[in-house]
Structures are given as structure tokens and as C-alpha cells.
């Protein structure tokens, strides 16, 4: 069964948590699909995690489309969401043109940051499902910091969430928000919320796959490493290097041989 926005709504109503992970390539998409992840998300975090960019603002539309197409090939049932990169939705007309490219490339919905009610409403009227993102927003905040720590900031987040929902938003990502604020917003909204560094009470959770697998150097409070990719991969590469240099690899089990008669004829050339 294909997972849809309605499927996510049903999970919220039933009190079931929604799972979401970033994904940037085909092999990882296949793994996430087979594991049953609800939402596979091609985030603009591809820039800092896979492309060596210093900021999400460096990610281009072409970058996103390239990685979206790769992930699409590995996804069948999960809801596939793609980030609209920096400055790709400055007006509602530009947003629609670019969002249509994402849909054509295989996205089921697009995600954008901030209070973009007019854009959300316009895309929704043109049959494009939109995921929102408030709190810490990498495309606009230069410094990583918690949002909504004071009454006024929390109220602003709450009002933003309500306004975006009214505009037609289908899901809302809350990033780096105190869990009390995220929890109350999640409880009041009709649409599902997905938290990252937003505590335990959102309707679902999203993590950057590189953080989850232990691929990065950073240690973050909201991240749990479920694997040690960095060290295990280093050890594998180092072992490969040593075995090649010491003539251990390739082993006789790793080679293919020519037919004896063909080999005899071939040797006659030398």
C-alpha cells in the first residue's frame, strides 16, 4: 500500500508515531523502503552531508533534482518528500514552476521553510502537497540555536503553525524547539507534526541519516547513533589497503580463469 498524506493523518488520529528519515541516494532509499520508513525525505541537508558544501544555501535546484531522481528509483510505498532549496520559492509563481519540476521528478510532496502562507496556498490550489518547516530553519538562520525558548517566541511559533495549517499545509516539521512548545502545538494542530530536536511529543520524528548511522564528526544532543559507520568503514578500507599491499587480496576465490585450451592459444602470442 502506497503511503499518502491521508495515511499520515490516520496515524496522528490513531496516536501512532510517524517515521521520517533523510535520504540522498538509491541504495539508502532501498534500505529505508524495505525497513518500512513512512516518509523518505530528500533534504537540502544533502549539501553539507554529501556534497561538501558549507551551508544549505549553496544547494541548487539541479542538485536536489539529481538526488531526488536517484532516491525515487528506490521508493515504492513510502511518501517521498523533497526540499525546495534556498531562493527556489521567492514568489508563488517561481515556487509553482519549481515545485512542478519536483513532482515530475517523482516527489509526492515538497517542503519549504518559514511563514510562506501565500506560497503554500498557491501550491495547494495547484494540487501540490506542501510540508512546512518552522523553528530553526537552516536556509535563513546562520547560527544553529533553539527557537521558541520564551513566551513570545513560543507564541509566534504557535501562530505560524496555525496560519500555515489554514493555508493548506499538510505536515509541519518543528526543528530545535523546546519539547513543551512542540508538544502543545502538536496536540492542537489538526495536521501531523514531525520533530527534530523538538522532544518526544510531536506526531513523528525525522533524523539526518548520516547522524543516525554515525557518519559525521558532530555530537548532538537530539541524535542517537544506531550504527558506527565512520569507524567500521575506516577499518574496512584500511584492511583492504593492507591486504592488497600484502598480496592477500585478491585471493584465488576472487578470480576467474580462462579455459585451458584458450589460454594455451593465448600464451602462444607471447
Closest CA to 98 of 82, 118, 113: 82
CA angle 188–191–192, rounded 5-degree value: 95
Phi-psi region of 17 (alpha: psi -120 to 50; beta: other; left: phi over 0): beta
CA angle 58–61–62, rounded 5-degree value: 100
Q: Which residues are catalytic?
A: 175
Residue 203 · residue 17 · CB < 8 Å: yes
Residue 193 · residue 131 · CB < 8 Å: no
Other C-beta atoms lying within 10 Å of the C-beta of residue 45: 21
Closest CA to 32 of 192, 204, 199, 208: 208
What is the β-pairing status of strands 18-22 and 39-42?
parallel
Closest CA to 111 of 86, 146, 91: 86
Amino acid at each position: 500500500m502506497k503511503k499518502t498524506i491521508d495515511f499520515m493523518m490516520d496515524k496522528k488520529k490513531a496516536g501512532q508515531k510517524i517515521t521520517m528519515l533523510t535520504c540522498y541516494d538509491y541504495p539508502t532509499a532501498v534500505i529505508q523502503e524495505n525497513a518500512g520508513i513512512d516518509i523518505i525525505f530528500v533534504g537540502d541537508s544533502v549539501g553539507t552531508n554529501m556534497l561538501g558544501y558549507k551551508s544549505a544555501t549553496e544547494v541548487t535546484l539541479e542538485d536536489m533534482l539529481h538526488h531526488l531522481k536517484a532516491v525515487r528509483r528506490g521508493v515504492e510505498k513510502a511518501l517521498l518528500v523533497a526540499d525546495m532549496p534556498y531562493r527556489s520559492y521567492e514568489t508563488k509563481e517561481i515556487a509553482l514552476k519549481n515545485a512542478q519540476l519536483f513532482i515530475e521528478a517523482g516527489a509526492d510532496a515538497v517542503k519549504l521553510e518559514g511563514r510562506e502562507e501565500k506560497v503554500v496556498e498557491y501550491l495547494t490550489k495547484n494540487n501540490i502537497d506542501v510540508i512546512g518547516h518552522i523553528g530553526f530553519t537552516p536556509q535563513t538562520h546562520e547560527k544553529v540555536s533553539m527557537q521558541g525558548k520564551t513566551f513570545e517566541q513560543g507564541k509566534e511559533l504557535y501562530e505560524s503553525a496555525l496560519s500555515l495549517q489554514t493555508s493548506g499545509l499538510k505536515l509541519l516539521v518543528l526543528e530545535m524547539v523546546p519539547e513543551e512548545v512542540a508538544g502543545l502545538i502538536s496536540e492542537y494542530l489538526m495536521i501531523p507534526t514531525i520533530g527534530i530536536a523538538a522532544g518526544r511529543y510531536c506526531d513523528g520524528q525525522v533524523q539526518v541519516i548520516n547522524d543516525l548511522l554515525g557518519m559525521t564528526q558532530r555530537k548532538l544532543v537530539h541524535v542517537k547513533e544506531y550504527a558506527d559507520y565512520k569507524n567500521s568503514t575506516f577499518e574496512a578500507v584500511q584492511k583492504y589497503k593492507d591486504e592488497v599491499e600484502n598480496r592477500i587480496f585478491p585471493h584465488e576465490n576472487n578470480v576467474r580463469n580462462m579455459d585451458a585450451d584458450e589460454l594455451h592459444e593465448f600464451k602462444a602470442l607471447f
